[in-house]
């Protein structure tokens, strides 16, 4: 057929298999993810087609990603020489921004489902590795019992085998819950439904154990969004929202150890710390609101503010807000680009009427408000992997060529 990409099973499934392994390795140490990402890139290059490249280059999605990386390069021009290494590290970490759109375009529905299943399998196995990878010495056993008191014990003692921050792994578990819910609602097999329901309980267990407050707060709203988009019934969404809040409140109040959780009860103290960080970040922004301070100089400038105001407790802390981070480092344009990217994803999710895309966009946007997500590779890879997957998931490679003039 004219205007249709020529494909064969080998050229389709080998690159897709690389992507499936990338999804699985998101919950593994960085080395394994980088290895499978390299394999996926090589497989895509092995079955290279110019049509795929031309199509991606025309999309607004890729143009925004490319512009964000180029702005880091521009910021290098007014970065102090001694901080070039920071800027180069930042550039290196953003490489996946330019790779994953090419890797994830044109996945067939079956491949997309395998990618999602592989991701949630990685989260489960990652959690299991953490639990069985600890020697139960008396000292460590004491720490494991303290999981019910502070998530930082989990982080320091158990999460080390997969090299993940508790807030990020909790976000992985949040998305995994909704992926499992998506499969459960679409399945007619009762055995599969039972297995998926069990997986959903496991992901809730991980979230509760990690006690990342952001995810605990985001979960009920995400459930509300998913239900409303799926059913088109606002009242049903409200019922689920309040039910989850009530159940969660009862759980924390009547679970003595969690009720005394220092991480939960000291919200006011932590809010004070974040206010100091945000105040310092805004002071840095005020010095160079248009162009920013440079791709490698932000932490130095933040530390100057911390020292000036005697904020010793937060010395060497980043902005803990991705939007402030972008603005302070690269100026107004650097701030606008991620906001525009969220607008593009939201528009695409609305056109597709895809509940899980809305959940991902909402939860990630909130995550950006309280964490410098793109300062860590585990944040960068999670964000760009699923942003590209959900954005391009309706683009079948067999029909890309006929869509060149209508690239989104």
Q: What total of structural domains would you count in the chain?
A: 1
The verdict on residue 3 lying in a domain is: no
Q: What is the largest CA-CA distance in the chain?
A: 70
The parent domain of residue 311 ranges over 9-406
Q: Report the alpha-carbon distance of residue 79 to residue 298 in Å, rounded.
A: 9
Instruction: Please say whether the beta carbons of 333 and 341 come within 8 A.
Output: no
Residue ranges for the chain with pLDDT beneath 70: 1-11, 133-158, 252-271, 395-408
Q: Supply the DSSP symbol for 149.
A: T
Buried b (16+ CB within 10 A) or exposed e, 119-130: bbbbbbebbebb
The verdict on residue 2 lying in a domain is: no
> Quick one: pLDDT at residue 47?
76
The verdict on residue 169 lying in a domain is: yes
Q: What are phi and psi of 396, to 5 degrees?
A: -80, 130
The verdict on residue 122 lying in a domain is: yes
Cβ atoms within 10 Å of 49's Cβ, excluding its own:
17
Q: Supply the DSSP symbol for 106.
A: B
The verdict on residue 1 lying in a domain is: no
The verdict on residue 340 lying in a domain is: yes
> Quick one: pLDDT at residue 145?
45
């Amino acid at each position: 057929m004219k205007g249709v990409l020529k494909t064969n099973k080998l050229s389709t499934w080998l690159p897709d298999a690389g992507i499936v392994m990338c999804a699985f390795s998101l919950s593994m140490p960085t080395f394994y993810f980088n290895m499978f990402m390299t394999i996926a890139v090589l497989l895509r290059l092995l079955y290279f087609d110019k049509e795929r490249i031309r199509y991606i280059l025309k999309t607004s999605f890729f143009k925004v990603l490319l512009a964000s990386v180029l702005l880091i390069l521009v910021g290098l021009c007014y970065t102090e020489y001694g901080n070039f290494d920071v800027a180069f590290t930042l550039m290196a970490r953003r490489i996946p921004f330019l790779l994953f759109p090419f890797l994830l375009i044109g996945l067939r529905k079956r491949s997309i489902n395998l990618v999602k299943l592989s991701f949630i399998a990685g989260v489960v196995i990652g959690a299991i590795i953490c639990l069985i990878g600890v020697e139960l010495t008396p000292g460590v056993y004491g720490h494991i019992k303290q999981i019910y008191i502070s998530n930082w014990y989990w982080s320091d003692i158990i999460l080390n085998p997969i090299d993940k921050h508790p807030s990020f792994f909790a976000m992985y578990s949040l998305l995994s819950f909704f992926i499992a819910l998506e499969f459960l609602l679409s399945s007619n097999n009762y055995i599969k439904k039972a297995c998926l329901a069990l997986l959903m309980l496991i992901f809730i267990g991980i979230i509760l154990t990690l006690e990342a407050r952001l995810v605990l707060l985001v979960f009920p709203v995400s459930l509300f969004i998913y239900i409303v988009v799926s059913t088109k019934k606002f009242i049903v969404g409200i019922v689920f929202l309040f039910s989850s809040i009530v159940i969660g409140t009862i759980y924390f109040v009547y679970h003595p150890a969690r009720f005394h959780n220092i991480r939960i009860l000291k919200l006011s103290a932590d809010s004070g710390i974040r206010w100091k960080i945000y105040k310092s970040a805004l002071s840095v922004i005020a010095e160079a609101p248009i162009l920013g301070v440079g791709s490698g100089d932000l932490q130095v400038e933040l530390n100057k503010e911390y020292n000036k105001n005697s904020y010793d407790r937060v010395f060497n802390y980043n902005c803990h807000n991705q939007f402030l981070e972008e603005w302070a480092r690269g100026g107004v344009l650097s701030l606008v680009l991620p906001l525009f990217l969220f607008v593009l994803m939201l528009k695409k999710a609305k056109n597709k009427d895809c509940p899980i895309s809305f959940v991902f966009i909402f939860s990630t946007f909130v995550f950006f408000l309280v964490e410098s997500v793109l300062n860590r590779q585990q944040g960068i890879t999670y964000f760009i992997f699923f942003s590209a997957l959900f954005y391009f998931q309706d683009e079948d490679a067999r029909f890309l060529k006929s869509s060149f003039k209508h690239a989104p």
